[in-house]
Every structure is written in C-alpha cells, then in structure tokens.
C-alpha cells in the first residue's frame, strides 16, 4: 500500500523516470517509509520529549531549525538511498530528493499541529 | 463555628495597620473559623493619604479575590481557606441584612457635617443654650482666630474634615455622634453573637486616641453588642515628627507630647476600660525615625513601619484565638510582642516560631510570587503559559491591571517602605535574583567538575515549574476562568520555590 502511495506522490510532484524502473520498484518505498518515520520521530522529540522535559528547546526559532534539519536529513536520505540503488546521479535524483525534503517539511508541519497540544512548553509553537 | 470579624481601624495609624493586615492576608495568612473579615476605616480626615492608600489596597484585594480565588473543599465538603487572598476581606454592604438601610459598598465609615470648624460643628445655629456659653467654650478650648499668628493652636476654629491634629479632646466630641451613622447602625444590626470586633488605634494622636474609648463605650452600651468578643490594639509611639516649619492652621503636633499623651491615655484606659475588652494588645518601639511634619491631608503619606505589621499580627492572633481563651468575664487579657534579638534591621531570623510559621512563611511565599510576576513574567513572553494566560490581557483587562497594581505598587511598595524605615524590616533583597532573595539564606548553586548540577531557583527552574504547573491546572480550571488559573499558578510556583529554600533562616544558621 505504501508503495502505491509513495509512487503516486513522488511521481505526481517530481514526475516519473520511465527509463529507470528502480524508482518505482524500490527507491520510492525505501525512501518514503523511513522519511515518514524520521519526521514522526523528530516531531515527537520536539514536542513530546524536549517539549515536556524542560523549557530549553521550544521557541518558534527552534521549531524552524528542527524543520529545516528534518528537510535536510530527508533530502540527504533520499539522495543517498537513490544513489546506492541506481549507481549514478542525475537531475531527476536531485529533483526527487528535493521533493522528499519538501514533503518532509509539510509532514513536519501537519504532525506539529497534531502533536503540539500534547507538549507542555511548545504547545503554542509554531503558533 | 464560622464567624465574621469586624475590624475598626481608627485614624491614620489604624489605617496603616489595616494596610499591613491587607498585605498579610493577601499573602495567605490563615484565619481560623472565619467567614468574612470586615475592615471599617474611620478617619475624619477625608483626604488623608494613608487612609486613601489603605482603601485602594483593600479594594484591589477584594476585586482580585472575587475574580481569582478558588474556594477549595475538604473531604466533608467544607471550605478550606488556603493560598493567597484566602480570607474574604469584604465591605459591610456585603452582609445581607434585612430591614437595614442600604449603605455604600465602601471600606470607609463616613461622618456627616464635618466640612466645617469645630465651633460650628458643636453650635451650628450659633445659639448656645443653658450653661454653655462662648466664655465656657473658650475656657475649654483655644479659640485663636485665623488672622492671628498663633492660629496653629486653635481648637474651636479647627476644620474637622482635616482631622483632629492630635487633639483627642475634640475627637471625643465628634465620636459621640458615631452611633448616629448608618454604617455603625448597620454593624450593630448585622452582628451575630459569635462574631468578633477588633479596634485598632494609636494612643498618641487625635483621631485614634479619642475614637477608641468612645467606640468601646458605644459597643458596651448596646444590648446586642455587649457580649461580643472584643479585642483592641493600642499602638504607642514608634516614630517622631519633625518640628513644624510653616505657620498656619494645620495644628501643632509635637512628638515631644506623645509620651505624656500616652501616659494620660493609659491611665484612662486602666481606670475605665479594664474588663470591658477580652484582649488588649500593645505594640510600640523606641522612636528612631523622624517623619516630616504633615498634619493630615493628602501630604500625610507615612511609610509602612514594622510596628504596623506587628500590629496586624495582633488582629490575626485575636481572630485565631479560641473562644475559651477569651471567655473570662470582666477580665481583659493583655498581650505584648517581642522579637528574639534587638537589632536595627529585622528579618525572618528575628521572629519566634508562631510568627515565623503563621505570618512569615506566607509572606515569603507571596513575595516569591510577586517577584516572579513582576520580574520574571516579562522575560517569559515566549512561554506557552504566558501566551495562554496573559499575552492578550495583561495590559487591557481590569483584573490583570488590578493584580499588577496590587503586587507592584501596594505590596512591593509596602515591602520597600518597611525596608527603608527605621527600624528596618528587610526580610527580602528585592533587587536580587531568587537565589539571594531571602535575607540571611542564600540558595547554593551546586557544581560537579565545573558543571552546574543544581542551579537552585534559576530562570530555567521557574520556567519549568510555571509550564508544568500550568499544564496540570489547565485540566481542572477551564479557559473562562483564567484568572483563577493564574493565581493558582503563582501560588503553586511560589510553593515550589519555598521547597527549594527548605525553611526560613533562623538565628542558628
């Protein structure tokens, strides 16, 4: 099921790469699921771990930093996974990695809205 | 048995003691078996700044409590008075009395017809009758006219709405009309047999020293009031007044006469009041501080003094005394107050156990709350609790403005005045961080290998407690009652600070 969701999502935004079927067969799924988990863990660390432990990392600036860090990790993860599977980099790989970074940011925001109410110090972050 | 206590604060000193009482009750000093405490300020000097300030503090207290205090129940469903503002300090009009004339919602008892001179007050139609002639009055009172250089000594031409200027002989005449005031009649009608009355006055001025015996006479002459538990605080000289520098009709008060007046009044009390009171408290100090000459009006704004705060503890002690301790008929119990060690500067270490536990501990808690509200909250504007509770309201909502005024002007101002007066009462270092806030006890910062393992009452500690406590409170106190949540937040955070402090400093530390 994830394979279908991620294939459709990535192909919708970054277009399909007909000449390299590995993306559909392997990469989309191998990147999509871990990205989802990475974002969920990062948001949980921000809101449920740090956000409930001590008021040290809860401001909007901290949230933006975490979001950008997550996006960079998602970009890097997508790029290295695709590169390991396919063996050579091309413009599609960059586009796909960038889309994964943006996708992780959107996911980060959505999960933030859901989880912030469970936080103590970050329940008004980002708004 | 739940009862009300009526506190009559007579004159400038009475008002100042009630001011201190207001601060101690705001701090959460506990009163046993008490429903309402009704302060009644009696001062003929309508513009007296001391009185005005006390009235403002009382009104702010009442407004804050009404909006933010949560009455907690015990397992039997009975109210437990605990925390800041737990005492229901209220006006006479808050009592529901059938058939009584409606009175103003005020803490002040107002005399009528005092906007005149003493001679016009006693003889408004200028028709002296029988044996009372002008010569007779001149024999009793000074009648220097306003055009004369010695006008400052005048008694017959003294304006009454400016106070009695240290003339109890005039005051007692005016206080004879006390029973005609509707506020006094309201007290007489509203009082129940279990209620108590406490009177606060000075013995060395004009208003207090004349009003006190008159009020006792009235109470003891009233069938309904005769057997009420009656206590009083007589404040003896504790400051001096500078010599008068300007000529004029604003009296001629001299602190050199305070001792003679005190002696005369004490002699009178011992002859005529002994046995009429259940408890009589005395408090005084060696006068060190010399105040500027201000014979009343809006210029009389004397700074708070330790003696007034100790006087306020007398009120608390009287209210908390069980009935059986006050039941001896025709016997007055006398109480003095002492501190552990003589010193020019007093702090928590100087008080015995009762005061330390009952008075000073709540005072420390409320002072922590004040410090956090005034000094720390402005730095925490990005915190979730601040955004939830204060961000939209602190500068616009009347409740938050009242709370800010009470903490910043009334309470902190009172603490500052106590610390600047002589003798000093300086239990707090108001400008220091919380770790050094309590005089005589610094909270140590613990380090291991140069790394801080316990920073005591650091900013991070306060932030953490505020956030976590507010998060818990949100579950039980809904958003429409944010004022209650804020007061509870301050209460509980102050308690967390006190836990870190562990105990108040003592002489042995």
Picking from B376, B379, B384 by the largest number of A CB atoms within 10 A of its own CB, the best residue to mutate is B384
Residue B410 has pLDDT above 90, yes or no: yes
Q: Of B60, B63, B55, B160, which Cα lies nearest the Cα of B108?
A: B55
Q: Residue B508 has what pLDDT?
A: 81
Contact criterion met (CB below 8 Å) for B333 and B230: no
Does B388 sit within 8 Å of A58, measured CB to CB?
A: no
Q: Which of the 8 DSSP states describes residue B432?
A: S
Q: Which of the 8 DSSP states describes residue B287?
A: -
Widest CA span in chain B: 94
Contact criterion met (CB below 8 Å) for A46 and A53: no
pLDDT class of A19 with cuts at 50, 70, 90: confident
Contact criterion met (CB below 8 Å) for B508 and B386: no
User: Does an H or E element contain B265, and which?
Assistant: helix B258-272
Contacts of B474 in chain A (CB under 8 A): none
Does B388 sit within 8 Å of A55, measured CB to CB?
A: no
- Is A122 near chain B, with CB under 8 Å? yes
- The 10s digit of each residue's pLDDT in B21-74 is 999 999 999 999 999 999 999 887 767 888 999 999 999 999 999 999 998 777
Exposure of B469 by Cβ count < 10 A (0-12 exposed, 13-18 middle, 19+ buried)? buried
Exposure of B110 by Cβ count < 10 A (0-12 exposed, 13-18 middle, 19+ buried)? middle
Other beta carbons less than 10 A from residue B177's beta carbon: 15
Cα A28–chain centre separation = 13
pLDDT class of B152 with cuts at 50, 70, 90: low
Least confident of A89-93, B124-128, B361-365, B405-409: B124-128
- The 10s digit of each residue's pLDDT in B421-431 is 988 999 999 99
**Residue in A with minimal Cα distance to B471:** A120
Residues across chain A: 127
User: How far from B35 is each of B31, B55, B71, B79, CA to CA, in Å?
Assistant: 9, 21, 12, 10
Interface list for chain B against chain A, based on CB atoms closer than 8 Å:
382-384, 387-388, 460, 463-464, 467-468, 471
Q: Residue B223 has what pLDDT?
A: 86
**Residue in A with minimal Cα distance to B385:** A121
**Residue in A with minimal Cα distance to B388:** A124
Comparing B328 with B207, which gets the higher pLDDT? B207
Helix axis angle, A28-44 relative to A2-14, nearest 10°? 100
Task: Name B34's bridge partners.
Answer: B3
Q: How far is B388 from chain A (nearest CA, A)?
A: 8
Does B388 sit within 8 Å of A124, measured CB to CB?
A: yes
What's the whole-number mean pLDDT along residues A27-39?
90
To the nearest 10°, the Cα dihedral for B342, B348, B352, B357?
170
Q: Residue B387 has what pLDDT?
A: 93
- Is A54 near chain B, with CB under 8 Å? yes
Q: How far is B379 from chain A (nearest CA, A)?
A: 13
Contacts of B382 in chain A (CB under 8 A): 59-60
3-state SS of chain A: helix, strand, coil percent to 5? 80, 0, 20
Q: Residue B327 has what pLDDT?
A: 72
Contacts of B388 in chain A (CB under 8 A): 124
- The 10s digit of each residue's pLDDT in B353-371 is 999 999 999 999 999 999 9
Does A56 sit within 8 Å of B460, measured CB to CB?
A: yes
User: Which residues of chain B are in CATH 3.40.50.1440 domains?
Assistant: 3-113+164-239+257-284+312-337
Contact criterion met (CB below 8 Å) for A44 and A52: no
Exposure of B334 by Cβ count < 10 A (0-12 exposed, 13-18 middle, 19+ buried)? exposed
Contacts of A123 in chain B (CB under 8 A): 384, 471
Percentage of chain B modeled with pLDDT above 90: 52
Contact criterion met (CB below 8 Å) for B9 and B18: yes
| CATH no. of B3-113+164-239+257-284+312-337 | 3.40.50.1440
Contact criterion met (CB below 8 Å) for B234 and B17: no
Q: Which two tokens stand for residue A16?
A: 């399909």
What's the whole-number mean pLDDT along residues B269-288?
87
Ranges of beta strands (E only) in B344-433 are 345-346, 424-425
Exposure of B244 by Cβ count < 10 A (0-12 exposed, 13-18 middle, 19+ buried)? middle
> Three-state SS for B80?
strand
Helix axis angle, B11-26 relative to B49-68, nearest 10°? 20
Percentage of chain B modeled with pLDDT above 70: 90
List the single residue in A54, A56, A121 with the smallest CB-CB distance to B384.
A121
Distance separating alpha carbons of residues A35 and A20, to the nearest angstrom? 21
What's the whole-number mean pLDDT along residues B79-107?
85
Contacts of B463 in chain A (CB under 8 A): 55, 121
What does the mean pLDDT of chain B come to? 87
Distance separating alpha carbons of residues B19 and B337, to the nearest angstrom? 19
Q: Which of the 8 DSSP states describes residue B97?
A: -
Contact criterion met (CB below 8 Å) for B158 and B167: yes
Q: Which two tokens stand for residue B274?
A: 């002994």
Comparing B2 with B445, which gets the higher pLDDT? B445
List the single residue in A54, A122, A125 with the smallest CB-CB distance to B464.
A54
pLDDT class of B249 with cuts at 50, 70, 90: low
Contact criterion met (CB below 8 Å) for B280 and B335: yes
Computed over its alpha carbons, how large is the radius of gyration of chain B?
24
Does A56 sit within 8 Å of B471, measured CB to CB?
A: no
Residue where the block lists tokens 């002639």: B133
Does A125 sit within 8 Å of B384, measured CB to CB?
A: yes
Q: Residue B252 has what pLDDT?
A: 58
**Residue in B with minimal Cα distance to A119:** B471
Does A120 sit within 8 Å of B471, measured CB to CB?
A: yes
List the single residue in B384, B463, B468 with the smallest CB-CB distance to A122.
B384
Q: Which two tokens stand for residue B207?
A: 């208003």
Distance separating alpha carbons of residues A100 and B454, to the nearest angstrom? 43
pLDDT class of B297 with cuts at 50, 70, 90: low
- Is A59 near chain B, with CB under 8 Å? yes
Residue B114 has pLDDT above 60, yes or no: yes
pLDDT class of B232 with cuts at 50, 70, 90: very high
Distance separating alpha carbons of residues B41 and B132, to the nearest angstrom? 33
Q: How far is A53 from chain B (nearest CA, A)?
A: 8
Distance separating alpha carbons of residues A100 and A34, to the nearest angstrom? 11
State the first-to-last Cα distance of chain A, in angstroms, to the nearest integer. 34
Other beta carbons less than 10 A from residue B150's beta carbon: 11
List the single residue in B382, B387, B467 with the smallest CB-CB distance to A120.
B467
Q: Which two tokens stand for residue B200?
A: 């606060």
Does B387 sit within 8 Å of A121, measured CB to CB?
A: no
Q: Which of the 8 DSSP states describes residue B479?
A: G
**Residue in B with minimal Cα distance to A125:** B384
- Interface contacts (A, B; CB < 8 Å): 27
3-state SS of chain B: helix, strand, coil percent to 5? 45, 15, 40
To the nearest 10°, the Cα dihedral for B477, B481, B482, B486?
-70
Does A124 sit within 8 Å of B384, measured CB to CB?
A: yes
Q: Residue A89 has what pLDDT?
A: 82
Residue A69 has pLDDT above 70, yes or no: yes
Winning range, highest mean pLDDT, from B83-87, B160-164, B167-171, B336-340: B83-87
Helix axis angle, B258-272 relative to B207-220, nearest 10°? 10
Distance separating alpha carbons of residues B67 and B73, to the nearest angstrom? 18
Q: Residue B122 has what pLDDT?
A: 74
Other beta carbons less than 10 A from residue A115's beta carbon: 18
Q: Is the pTM of this model over 0.95?
A: no
Q: Which two tokens stand for residue B129?
A: 């009758």
**Residue in A with minimal Cα distance to B468:** A120
Exposure of B220 by Cβ count < 10 A (0-12 exposed, 13-18 middle, 19+ buried)? middle
Rama region for B85: left / alpha / beta (φ>0; ψ in -120 to 50; rest): left
**Residue in A with minimal Cα distance to B462:** A55
Residues across chain B: 509
Does A56 sit within 8 Å of B384, measured CB to CB?
A: no
Sequence-ordered list of residues with C-beta below 8 angstroms from that of B245, at least 6 positions apart, any chain: B293
């Amino acid at each position: 099921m994830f394979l279908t969701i991620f294939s459709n999502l990535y192909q919708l935004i970054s277009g399909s790469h007909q000449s390299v079927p590995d993306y559909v067969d392997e990469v989309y799924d191998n990147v999509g699921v871990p990205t989802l988990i990475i974002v969920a863990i990062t948001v949980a660390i921000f809101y449920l771990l740090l956000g409930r432990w001590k008021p040290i990392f809860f401001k909007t600036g901290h949230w933006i930093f975490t979001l950008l860090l997550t996006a960079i990790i998602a970009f890097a993860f997508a790029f290295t996974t695709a590169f390991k599977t396919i063996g050579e980099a091309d413009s599609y790989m960059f586009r796909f990695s960038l889309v994964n970074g943006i996708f992780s940011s959107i996911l980060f925001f959505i999960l933030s809205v859901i989880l912030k109410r469970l936080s103590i110090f970050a329940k008004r972050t980002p708004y | 048995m739940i009862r009300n206590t009526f506190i009559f604060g007579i004159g400038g000193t009475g008002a100042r003691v009630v001011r201190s009482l207001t601060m101690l009750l705001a701090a959460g000093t506990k009163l046993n078996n008490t429903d309402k405490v009704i302060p009644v300020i009696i001062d003929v000097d309508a513009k007296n700044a001391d009185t005005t300030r006390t009235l403002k503090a009382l009104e702010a207290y009442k407004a804050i409590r009404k909006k933010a205090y949560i009455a907690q129940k015990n397992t039997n469903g009975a109210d437990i008075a605990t925390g800041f503002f737990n005492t229901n300090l209220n006006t006479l009009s808050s009592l529901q009395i059938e058939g009584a004339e409606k009175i103003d919602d005020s803490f002040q008892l107002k005399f009528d017809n005092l906007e005149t001179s003493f001679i016009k007050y006693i003889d408004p139609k200028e028709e002296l009758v029988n044996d009372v002639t002008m010569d007779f009055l001149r024999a009793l009172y000074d009648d220097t006219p306003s055009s004369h250089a010695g006008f400052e000594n005048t008694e017959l031409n003294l304006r009454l709405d400016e106070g009695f200027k240290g003339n109890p002989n005039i005051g007692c005449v005016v206080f004879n009309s006390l029973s005609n005031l509707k506020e006094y009649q309201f007290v007489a009608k509203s009082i129940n047999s279990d209620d108590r009355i406490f009177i606060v006055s000075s013995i060395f001025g004009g208003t207090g020293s004349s009003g006190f015996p008159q009020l006792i006479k009235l109470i003891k002459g009233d069938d309904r009031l005769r057997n009420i538990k009656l206590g009083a605080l007589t404040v003896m000289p504790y400051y001096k007044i500078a010599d008068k520098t300007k000529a004029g009709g604003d009296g001629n008060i001299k602190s050199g006469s305070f001792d003679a007046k005190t002696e005369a009044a004490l002699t009178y009390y011992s002859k005529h009041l002994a046995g009429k009171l259940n408890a009589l408290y005395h408090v005084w100090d060696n006068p060190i501080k010399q105040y500027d000459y201000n014979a009343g009006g809006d210029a009389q704004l004397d700074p708070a003094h330790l003696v007034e705060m100790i006087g306020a503890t007398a009120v608390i002690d009287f209210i908390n005394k069980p009935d059986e301790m006050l039941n001896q008929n025709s016997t007055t119990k006398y109480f003095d107050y002492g501190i552990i060690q003589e010193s020019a500067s007093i702090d928590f270490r100087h008080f015995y156990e009762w005061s330390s536990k009952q008075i000073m501990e709540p005072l420390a808690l409320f002072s922590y709350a004040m410090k956090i509200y005034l000094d720390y909250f402005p730095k925490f504007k990005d915190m979730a609790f601040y955004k939830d509770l204060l961000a939209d309201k602190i500068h616009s909502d009347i409740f938050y403005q009242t709370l800010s005024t009470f903490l910043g002007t009334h309470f902190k101002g009172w603490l500052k005045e106590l610390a600047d007066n002589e003798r000093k009462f300086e239990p707090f270092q108001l400008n220091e961080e919380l770790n050094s806030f309590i005089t005589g006890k610094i909270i140590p910062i613990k380090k291991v290998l140069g790394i801080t393992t316990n920073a005591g009452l650091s900013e991070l500690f306060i932030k953490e407690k505020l956030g976590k406590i507010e998060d818990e409170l949100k579950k039980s106190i809904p958003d429409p009652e944010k004022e209650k949540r804020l007061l509870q937040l301050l209460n509980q955070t102050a308690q967390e600070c006190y836990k870190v402090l562990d105990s108040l400093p003592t002489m042995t530390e």
